[in-house]
Structure 1
Amino acid sequence: MRQPVPTLGHWPSWLAGMAGASAVVLGAFGAHALRGVLDPAGRELWHTASQYHFWHALALAAACLAPDGRARRIASGAFAVGIVLFSGSLYALALGSPRWCGAITPLGGVAFIVGWIALGMALHRMDKPAS
């Protein structure tokens, strides 16, 4: 008899909540505490980082609604990695990190793309009638 596949537990929903909360905190920090600190280019980087951070926190929450399975696990992980790599590298660049940190940003973008494809595949499972 086949063993049931272990579920993800609660980590994706916990991670979605933490990602959303941190997006709000970092967005507010950039808008208020860094107002006179960042130059216009730094403010634009911070804004882009916080926008992608927040949208992908929502995507991570959407992944929690998908049926459990490989695609859901990939989507959840890819969105989390994308937030760290994409938004994290932009936050760091805005704060004056060396320019080579910008080479990390596209890796986060690829993770976001993988996450969206996997989320689409996971949600597609919901459209199929049970057999």
Structure 2
Amino acid sequence: MTDQQPEPTDTPLEDLVGSWLTVPDIAERLGIPLSSVRKLIEDRELLSARIGERRVVAVPAQFLDEDVFRHLRGTFTVLADGGLTDAEILRWMFTPDETLRIGGTPVDNLAAGFKTEVRRRAMEQAF
């Protein structure tokens, strides 16, 4: 018997992302109304998923990092234009890829300032 790690595609999205924030958590953290958070999601500046037993709307906590947030919309657009669904985009953003500049995930690379490389990889993924 081997101790194989599950493939990222086998890992539930909720577990792959790890840390999530609900709409009220984001509103409190950013000091904005709930409606403004919902608008960020509606405008695809943030992507959300329904998580947990109660299926609450939540956003990956790492998306609120200032160095990540400012690069999300363009990255989401590239991936969505290539036909990926929101769930597929979230999975891609949090799937480790050791071929990226610092390894880790695309979102880790955005946080480290490698927007161009992440977007280039997103274009390859999407088309």
TM-score in terms of structure 2 length: 0.29
- Bigger proportion of residues as helix: 1
Which is greater in Rg? 1
TM-score in terms of structure 1 length: 0.29
Q: Larger relative contact order (C-alpha < 8 A, sep ≥ 6)?
A: 1
- Bigger proportion of residues as strand: 2
